[in-house]
């Protein structure tokens, strides 16, 4: 950001129409801004991010869409993790304390995205079903819509929009245009997922996370089907076939854990594959542009926090834009980086085995006086990992770091690490 940063924007072009884009459009349009989303509908059969977390529920309520989402979704009362024969952990959202919602939903993503986009239209945002052309203004940090794109809007903005927001997700239109650097996570995993007709579900509505022979798997119960995903190292995945369908189907039959929980499952959709897994943009705000959602950064999906981060980012960005000061925009950028960095750290604790080794120790010592006295406090703050709100409380993050350093007793975390 520079001293030339545009503030007090009246007209805003949002590139993309996913949950973060639509959320931002709703909030800005409600505030009287002239907002347009540029969205060319895609035919992708599946989208990552079908399991919501309780921290999203207040957002759905503020956006006025929870009743609609509830009608076509499955209630999600908790999360179940199976890391080994000895370590089986189930968290029920009803044990959450404070103002956090005590439930969430598993959603068909196509319908969820449509719900938010339609809400944006009702709020007054325009939707142009075209791919927006965006240009850099000389060698500056400014961007503008192409003449062809402006013409297609029928002069909706009355000239160039004051702000252009990139919510194109992993397409990362503005970062690529402006040469914005990014940092990637240490892991180089591949995710394969599809919908199947059935799997073992231990607790109705729970998202199930299971350690595999190599990597881990998610099972998300949806109305009439189950989303089944597998995350494993790229080199290992290649050994199961030449195509993503071959890899998925062979893993389903050959991994010893998947044979147990989904051996009789029939795949009923195409297979989707993601290889770009963890990334954070070095900048999220410029002179007249900003990044939101996956364009700003995305993380491993193990704790279902991706949609929370995207939609929370939209709320933060709307607040900053309505304040209309460079300081507010700088604060937004710092918050985006903070939330992403915190969740990258939590994800690392999952992969290196420290997180659930700590939970294992807690279960081993649950009858001791110290654990009995501290359990409510620990449950409140470490429970934020499963509610999606971990990165919103510095104290909770500090307590987590303390537990990861001192709470393992003499247990070896490598035994629960993802192989």
284-308 pLDDT, tens digit each = 999 999 999 999 998 888 888 999 9
Confidence of residue 375 (pLDDT cuts 50, 70, 90): low
Check whether 216 has a pLDDT greater than 60: yes
Exposure letters 269-287 (e unless 16+ CB within 10 A, then b): eebbebeebbbbbebbbbb
347-358 pLDDT, tens digit each = 999 999 999 998
**What does the pLDDT average to over 241-247?**
94
**What does the pLDDT average to over 328-336?**
96
165-208 pLDDT, tens digit each = 999 998 999 999 999 999 887 777 899 999 999 999 999 999 99
The CA-atom distances, in angstroms, between 387 and each of 25, 114, 192 are: 25, 24, 25
**What does the pLDDT average to over 96-118?**
92
Note whether 11-49+56-72+107-182+280-346 and 189-274 share their fold: no
Q: Which one of 2.40.50.140, 3.30.930.10, 2.60.40.420, 3.30.9.100 gives the CATH number of domain 189-274?
A: 3.30.9.100
124-156 pLDDT, tens digit each = 999 999 999 999 999 999 999 999 999 999 999
CATH number of 11-49+56-72+107-182+280-346: 3.50.50.60
pLDDT at 299: 86
Please tell me the distance from the alpha carbon of residue 145 to that of residue 143, in angstroms, as a whole number.
Answer: 7
Q: Is the separation of the CB atoms in 16 and 166 below 8 Å?
A: yes
Check whether 232 has a pLDDT greater than 50: yes
Confidence of residue 100 (pLDDT cuts 50, 70, 90): confident
pLDDT at 372: 67
Confidence of residue 392 (pLDDT cuts 50, 70, 90): confident
Axis-axis angle for helices 109-123, 19-30 (nearest 10): 20
**How much of the chain exceeds pLDDT 90, in percent?**
71
Check whether 404 has a pLDDT greater than 60: yes
Three-state secondary structure of the chain:
CCCCCCCCCCEEEEECCCHHHHHHHHHHHHCCCEEEEECCCCCCCCCCCCECCHHHHHHHHHHCCHHHHHHHCEEECEEEEECCCCCEEEEEHHHCCCCCCCCEEECCHHHHHHHHHHHHHHHCCEEECCCCCEEECCCCCCEEECHHHHHHCCCCCCCCCCEEEECCHHHCHHHHHHCCCEEECCCCEEEEEEEECCCCCCCCCCEEEEECCCCEEEEEEECCEEEEEEEEEHHHHHCCCCCHHHHHHHHHHHCHHHHHHHCCCCECCCCEEECCCCEEECCCECCCEEECHHHCEECCCCCCCHHHHHHHHHHHHHHHHHHCCHHHHHHHHHHHHHHHHHHHHHHHHHHCCHHHHHHHHHHHCCCCHHHHHHHHHHHHHHCHHHHCCHHHCHHHHHHHHHHHHHCCCCCCHHHHCCC
pLDDT at 261: 95
Q: Which residues pair with 134 in a beta bridge?
A: 145
pLDDT at 80: 95
Q: How high is the mean pLDDT of the chain?
A: 91
Tell me the whole-structure pTM to 2 decimals: 0.94
Residue bearing tokens 């704790």: 303
Check whether 380 has a pLDDT greater than 80: no
Map out the domains of the chain as residue ranges: 11-49+56-72+107-182+280-346, 189-274, 352-416
Please tell me the distance from the alpha carbon of residue 266 to that of residue 261, in angstroms, as a whole number.
Answer: 12
Lowest-pLDDT range, 31-35, 38-42, 276-280? 276-280
Confidence of residue 3 (pLDDT cuts 50, 70, 90): very low
Higher pLDDT, 361 or 18: 18
47-88 pLDDT, tens digit each = 889 999 999 999 999 999 999 999 999 999 999 999 888 888
């Amino acid at each position: 950001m520079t001293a030339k940063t545009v503030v007090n924007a009246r007209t805003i072009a949002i590139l993309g129409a996913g949950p973060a884009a639509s959320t931002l459009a709703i909030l800005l349009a409600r505030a009287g801004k002239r907002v347009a989303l540029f969205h060319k509908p895609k035919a992708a059969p599946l989208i990552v991010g079908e399991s919501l977390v309780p921290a999203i529920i207040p957002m759905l309520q503020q956006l006025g869409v929870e009743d609609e989402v509830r009608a076509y979704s499955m209630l999600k009362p908790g999360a179940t993790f199976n890391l080994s024969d000895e370590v089986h952990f189930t968290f029920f959202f009803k044990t959450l304390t404070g103002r956090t919602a005590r439930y969430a939903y598993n959603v068909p993503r196509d319908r969820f995205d449509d719900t938010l986009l339609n809400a944006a239209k009702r709020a007054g945002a325009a939707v142009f079903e075209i791919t927006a052309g965006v240009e850099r203004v000389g060698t500056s940090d400014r961007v503008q819509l192409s003449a062809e794109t402006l013409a297609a809007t029928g002069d909706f903005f009355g000239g160039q929009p004051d702000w252009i927001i990139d919510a194109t997700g992993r397409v990362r239109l503005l970062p690529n245009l402006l040469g914005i650097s990014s940092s990637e996570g240490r892991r180089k995993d591949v995710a394969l997922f599809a919908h199947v007709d059935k799997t073992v579900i231990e607790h109705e509505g729970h998202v199930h996370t299971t350690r595999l022979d190599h990597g881990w798997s998610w099972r998300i119960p949806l109305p009439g089907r189950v989303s089944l995903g597998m995350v494993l190292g790229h080199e290992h995945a290649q050994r199961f076939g030449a195509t993503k369908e071959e890899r998925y189907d062979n893993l389903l039959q050959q991994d010893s854990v998947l044979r147990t929980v989904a051996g009789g499952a029939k795949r009923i959709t195409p297979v989707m594959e993601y290889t770009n897994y963890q990334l954070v943009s070095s900048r999220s705000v410029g002179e007249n542009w900003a990044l939101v959602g996956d364009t700003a950064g995305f993380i491993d999906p193990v704790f279902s926090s991706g949609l929370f981060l995207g939609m929370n980012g939209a709320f933060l960005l709307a607040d900053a834009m309505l304040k209309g000061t460079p300081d507010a925009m700088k604060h937004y950028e710092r918050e985006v980086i903070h939330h992403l960095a915190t969740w990258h750290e939590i994800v690392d604790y999952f992969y290196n085995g420290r997180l659930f080794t700590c939970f294992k120790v807690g279960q081993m010592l649950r009858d001791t006086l110290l654990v009995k006295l501290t359990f409510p406090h620990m449950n409140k703050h470490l429970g934020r990992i499963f509610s999606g709100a971990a990165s919103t409380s510095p104290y909770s993050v500090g307590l987590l770091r303390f537990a990861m350093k001192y709470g393992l007793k003499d247990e070896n975390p490598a035994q629960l690490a993802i192989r």
